Amino acid sequence: MNEFGVATEKEALKEAIIARIRAQGPITFRDFMEMALYHHHLGYYCSLGEKMGRAGDYLTSPEVSPVFAALLGRQFRQMWQIIGCPRRFALVEIGAGSGALAYDVLAWAKRNSPDFWRSLSYQIVEASEELADRQRRRLRALDPDLTRISWQSSLPEDIEGCVFSNELVDSFPVHRVVVQAGELFEIYVGWDGAGFVEELQPPSTPAIAQYFQRLELFPGEGCFAEVNLQAMEWMSTVANALRRGFVVTLDYGSEAKDLYAPWRRSGTLLCFYRHNPSNDPYVRIGRQDMTSHVDFTTLIRVGENYGLEMVGIASQAAFLVNLGIAQAWQLPAEGPLALEEYAARRRAVTELIDPAGLGRIKVMILRKGVGPCKLVGLEVSTHD
């Protein structure tokens, strides 16, 4: 408890981590992060409470405005058209959070594109049963019998459509490393009786060194960095599940040459609690989010190894501008908006394309079983 009697961390989770360290010695930071975020019932993502939105710890684009989902829906519809308007088009969202994005994409399709709506099979891959229940309650307001929506704990097979995620990969547990005297060390987490302490040891797996060998680069001397091996496994799973269509990944990140540049001394690990960023993962355990930037170079290469082909990558700001976000605050033909609604829309648009905030998220699109194509979100185009 702090001086105001508010719990600042989950003591049971902290004790579980300490018990593991006492039993087996210092653990990798990756294992510490996995327990802090995903421990059954106690981890940050596996417990009750608001995570996303203005009342939570961080804000994602779907919580800002339905405009985001409407524009993404336009891109999904074009993908459906590119592959010949099949009678069944799967939209597979991995990690649907509050369900806001699913609700708003489906609401846009139902209202604006009846043929596309009738083709949709919206499938949510959700590991958290608590989140899945919240999503069901929300989506029943749109589709009472949930005839177009289903939930799975893992990716379905033989997908024809689009597999997509929004701010998912940056939350995977990561190995943290540092270069000292030209040698790569991994950060382990120990317990000294009063607090968590970091120790440097040789990498826990050869896969870490191999990661940098494939990239043909190395973090600079004295630089800390993160290695997301789970992201590689995830991308291979997604590629194998997709028979024909697209993969859309929206996340914070950059190319490897920027992510592991010598000037990036402290890596990219960040924690968020009530919208306040921090670089200390050892406080508010189980009550704060942890993220690190995505290495899009490695994701692209893994995807290509499993049959995916690159369509393009853009900032979220450019992607939404190309899809027509500037029209979001324009007056509709049937009459003027109330001044308050006009102002709210304008604020939302500004927030979604802010180059210092949500606008710097990257949108990466890969294809499989589809010929070369031009997507509206990746190029300047006219909009309907």
In a domain, 197, yes or no: yes
In a domain, 275, yes or no: yes
Task: Express each pLDDT in 167-185 by its tens digit.
Answer: 999 999 999 999 999 999 9
CATH number for position 220 = 3.40.50.12710
In a domain, 235, yes or no: yes
Task: Express each pLDDT in 283-304 by its tens digit.
Answer: 999 889 999 999 999 999 999 9
The pLDDT of residue 21: 98
The pLDDT of residue 336: 56
| DSSP label of 336 | P
Q: What is d(CA 264, CA 316) in angstroms, rounded to the nearest whole number?
A: 23
Number of domains in the chain: 1
Alpha helices in the chain (DSSP H): 11-24, 29-38, 61-64, 66-82, 100-112, 114-119, 129-140, 206-215, 229-241, 256-259, 296-305, 316-322, 339-352
In a domain, 4, yes or no: no
* Domain housing 290: 11-378
Helix (H) or strand (E) holding 90: strand 89-94
In a domain, 296, yes or no: yes
Q: What is d(CA 170, CA 117) in angstroms, rounded to the nearest whole number?
A: 30
In a domain, 384, yes or no: no
- Indicate if the pLDDT at residue 378 is higher than 80: yes
Yes or no: say if 35 and 286 are a contact pair by the CB < 8 Å rule: no
Instruction: Report the chain's mean pLDDT, rounded to a whole number.
Output: 90
Residues 6+ apart with CB under 8 A from 226: 174, 175, 176, 177, 267, 268, 269, 292, 293
In a domain, 3, yes or no: no
- Indicate if the pLDDT at residue 196 is higher than 70: yes
More confident residue, 325 or 341: 325
When mean pLDDT is compared across 145-149, 346-350, 380-384, the lowest value belongs to 380-384
In a domain, 6, yes or no: no
Average pLDDT of 60-68? Answer: 92
The pLDDT of residue 335: 52
Helix (H) or strand (E) holding 60: none
The pLDDT of residue 333: 42
